[in-house]
Chain A
Amino acid sequence: MNPFRLSLIGLMVSAAVLSAARGADELVPASALRGRRLLFVVGSATPSEDNLVEAHLQSLGFAVTEARDSDPASRADGQDVVVVSSTVDPDVLQGKYRDVSVPLFTWSVYSYPYLAMTGPQLHRDFELIDPVHFAARTMTALYGYCESPVNPIMRAVGETRSQNFGTYYLLSTEVGWGRPSRGGTVVASIEGDDGEGAMFTYERGATMCGGVVAPARRVGFYLSSDNFHLLSQAYGPGQTDPRTRQWYVGLKLFDAGLRWAVSPPPQPPPYDPSALKARLRQAAAGKNVLFVGRKHAFEGAEADEHIVEHLRDLGCKVTFADQDDPDTLAEGRDLVIISATCSKYKLANRYTDVKVPFLGLDPLMADCFGFTGRVRYSEFGTHGEPGESIDPATATINIVGSWSTLAAGLPPGPVRMIRDPDIIGWGTPGRAAIVVADFPTSPDECPIYAYEKGATLANGRTNPARRAYFALDNPAYDTLTPQGHALFDACVLWCISPPGSN
């Protein structure tokens, strides 16, 4: 066979593998919206562009049924998606659709707390910026920010990197935002605050505010009652220029958000440590892992040895490197693991630029790798470490990202990670991160999270390969519960799996 044909076949196989791997977070095509049943919940607030929205929904192919805000939630039965307009009276609608297991898309900002999509505090958890009281802010909010180009919605609209875009046509108009829980995802933010979600989502199974678990996908969008026609969009010749195309994406985001809402959510395997280990063994066989620790560590050396043994038992080829060794050792590896036995100071920025998958275990190094911001004890730190934390030792973390395979199939809610209360690290990652767990009493402090390849790290850089963070203090590996072990294995498996796969 000639070399050209061989390489062509290779390319096709790669594309097929990538496509299969990406399947989990791809959106249904626009054509798949045709005939889908959509319940459009409206109220009587004026001015209103509900008629324009409804016409647009119909033009997308939806079979639209209108409901009033006073109607019962049973109207959602049999629907493929519920869309709630901001013309509803939030106090009439209340939390009716909070628990419906139908995807929901809304721009009723004042309904966010009722729907558990944000906390309850106006201006802190959610806000509708209006041009009467906040004219300057509405102009600022014309500039949205794409938090992560690997977000499936942003990918669908063609954003190729984290960058500004135009939310509306350039007029002072109402803009809504909500601050989702760490279980949610900020797709687009405004005003330079990455938590101010102009558009945000919850995956099915994600933990929303107040511990409510999303029964189906949820989308919050920045629209208001009378400015649908201002959603940015370029037509005709404007579509030929990539910069113009990537700037005027307001209407595309609206459409892509709907497509995401009705797309099949990921279905991670249920919690089964032995099945997980079997999958990991299959994926890890022959993988070349660099384990970076501190030789002759006073504390944690034994745990490091056990991690290495575990990886070898899974079939990995593990090389142990000292913290002082050059980070060029990472080149060509399938995975680099940085142990918490390493000294942040002595590691001296090694491995910050590695372009291979990466698993970090030391909470206090989170800033070095762009996992978090740079403010120690505020953006990263530990619980239960004398002299380092005012928080008591703990053994329990709170699963908020059960939809991700990183959660090892564990259900949402508290889970005992280590046998007895001890030190557990945490970080507050950027909004492009997948947050697997927080603490039951500290929802912004996350002991397990990850960044997809291509996602924007907290330091603004583009993540060159999958990176996960698993808070494991030096000797803590040996105290992991079965659930803790499963979470560790899930992190390793995710890191060595193809980017885009769940």
Chain B
Amino acid sequence: MNPSNLARLRSGLVRLVLVLPLASGLVALADPPGLHETARYSFAGSGASGALALDADGHRLYVARGPVVDVVDPDTGRTEGSATLPAAVRGLALAPGMGRAFATLADGTVATLNTAGLSVVRTIAAPGRGPSAVVYDADTRRVFVADSASGDLAVIDPTTGAIVADLPLGGRLAGMACDGFARLFVNARDLNVIHVVDTHRLSSLGDFPTAPGVGPTGMALEDSGRRLFVPCLNGVLIVVDNDVGAVFRVLKLAGRGAACVAFGLADEDHPIGEPPWKGRIVTVTRDGTVNVGRMLAFVNYAAHDHFTLDARPLGVAIDAPRQRAYILLAASPTLSQLVVLDPYVCPPAP
């Protein structure tokens, strides 16, 4: 058997194992066929707010729901550890090389966690009133916290917890990504721009307009750091060449409302474990509609498939090597659920 076929067989077996629980009626079947849930795990407790982060090797999933952060085995859905923070989590970021996780909290603080023991190292007050999105930049080894209320960007030294800088970018900041080339991108939802920040000089480099996208919410970055995927409130996902700020693709989104988004570089025809090329963009709108966009080439993207979940999303993450997407849902005020799906599956031939 050639490696490609072997990989497909392995991929199929993984799907079979994951789909088995379907027979027990635990999960709903996908609609339309092709793109579908492969597993769903439930977590009791606050389901009103939360966030999701996947570690670099895909072995640990950090599931924040209310003030609780669980470490979950993504293969089984089993909780392996848990920490309770002072307030509900709004954003979550991992610093793989440091063994740290950072969470923005609803009480206006930023918490640092030790990922090994899942203990709280410290909490600090954010300069603004509404810290929301948070990213860790491995290049500068700093944490960036966007404030959706004040429009400030706080820069934190993760080793000391000191606030290094507070940049008044302006706007309702939502969604953020670092490209690894000294640039940070931050959505300003009410200004219809993406702020560009020099992460070395900690200064603004200007803005990218999001037009025709209106109301940018989430943000994902392509692996090479040269493409941004930004879902917008007017129902489109814009693809931005972040070398020059050009919106060169506009994908129509099914569903409505603010969306979270993730990107994973892989190809359904590519043997698992080998370097991937093409990829998928998974966008989940507030009404639970999962949109999968496809990267056909570096400059070519297309809407691929969509289906609807039964609850509001809190976060999305992709494990590209294993061709999985994870979506955290606020199933009810007291229940969070984690949905697993394969965004790389092709729709059935017409």
- Measuring CB to CB, which residues of chain A are less than 8 angstroms from any residue of chain B? 52, 169-171, 229-230, 232-240, 244, 248
Knowing that A52-B212, A169-B248, A235-B246 touch, tell me 19 more A-B residue pairs with CB under 8 angstroms: A169-B246, A170-B299, A171-B248, A171-B300, A229-B248, A230-B248, A233-B244, A234-B244, A234-B246, A235-B208, A236-B194, A236-B196, A236-B205, A237-B183, A237-B196, A237-B245, A238-B244, A239-B206, A248-B244
Q: A238–B243 Cα gap in the complex (Å)?
A: 7
Cβ < 8 Å to A, chain B residues 200-251: 205-209, 211-212, 241, 243-248, 250
Q: A142–B33 Cα gap in the complex (Å)?
A: 39
- Measuring CB to CB, which residues of chain B are less than 8 angstroms from any residue of chain A? 183, 194, 196, 205-209, 211-212, 241, 243-248, 250, 299-300
Contacts of A234 in B (CB 8 A): 244-246
> Does B246 lie within 8 Å of A232, measured CB to CB?
yes
24 contacting pairs across A/B (C-beta < 8 A): A169-B241, A169-B246, A171-B248, A171-B299, A171-B300, A229-B212, A229-B247, A233-B244, A234-B244, A235-B209, A235-B245, A235-B246, A236-B196, A236-B205, A236-B207, A236-B208, A237-B196, A237-B205, A238-B243, A238-B245, A239-B206, A240-B205, A240-B206, A244-B244
Contacts of B206 in A (CB 8 A): 235-237, 239-240
A64 nearest CB across to chain B (Å): 17
A57 nearest CB across to chain B (Å): 14
Q: A245–B207 Cα gap in the complex (Å)?
A: 15
Q: A102–B212 Cα gap in the complex (Å)?
A: 30
Contacts of B244 in A (CB 8 A): 233-235, 238, 244, 248
Contacts of B209 in A (CB 8 A): 235
> Does A229 lie within 8 Å of B250, measured CB to CB?
yes
Chain B, residue nearest A237 (CB): B205
For A52, A229, A230, A235, the residue with the greatest tally of chain B CB atoms inside 10 Å of its CB is: A235
Contacts of A230 in B (CB 8 A): 248
Q: Provide the main secondary structure of the chain B interface.
A: strand
A142 nearest CB across to chain B (Å): 11
Query: Out of A52, A235, A240, which one reaches B207, CB within 8 Å?
Result: A235
> Does B212 lie within 8 Å of A236, measured CB to CB?
no
Query: Out of B245, B247, B250, which one reaches A236, CB within 8 Å?
Result: B245
Q: A184–B227 Cα gap in the complex (Å)?
A: 41
A179 nearest CB across to chain B (Å): 29
A52 nearest CB across to chain B (Å): 6
Chain B, residue nearest A234 (CB): B244
Q: A169–B212 Cα gap in the complex (Å)?
A: 15
Chain A, residue nearest B206 (CB): A236
> Does A248 lie within 8 Å of B248, measured CB to CB?
no
Chain A, residue nearest B300 (CB): A171
> Which 3 residue pairs are nearest across A and B when measured between Cβ atoms?
A235-B245, A236-B206, A237-B205
Chain A, residue nearest B245 (CB): A235
Q: A244–B299 Cα gap in the complex (Å)?
A: 19
Q: A229–B239 Cα gap in the complex (Å)?
A: 12
Q: A169–B227 Cα gap in the complex (Å)?
A: 14
Q: A449–B138 Cα gap in the complex (Å)?
A: 62
Contacts of B248 in A (CB 8 A): 169, 171, 229-230
Contacts of A240 in B (CB 8 A): 205-206
Contacts of B245 in A (CB 8 A): 233-238
For B194, B243, B244, the residue with the greatest tally of chain A CB atoms inside 10 Å of its CB is: B244
A151 nearest CB across to chain B (Å): 24
B142 nearest CB across to chain A (Å): 19
A124 nearest CB across to chain B (Å): 31
Q: A229–B211 Cα gap in the complex (Å)?
A: 9
Q: A232–B248 Cα gap in the complex (Å)?
A: 9
A420 nearest CB across to chain B (Å): 61
Contacts of A170 in B (CB 8 A): 299
Query: Out of A52, A233, A237, which one reaches B246, CB within 8 Å?
Result: A233
B166 nearest CB across to chain A (Å): 21
B209 nearest CB across to chain A (Å): 6
Contacts of A233 in B (CB 8 A): 244-246
Contacts of A237 in B (CB 8 A): 183, 196, 205-206, 245
B301 nearest CB across to chain A (Å): 10
Q: A229–B243 Cα gap in the complex (Å)?
A: 17
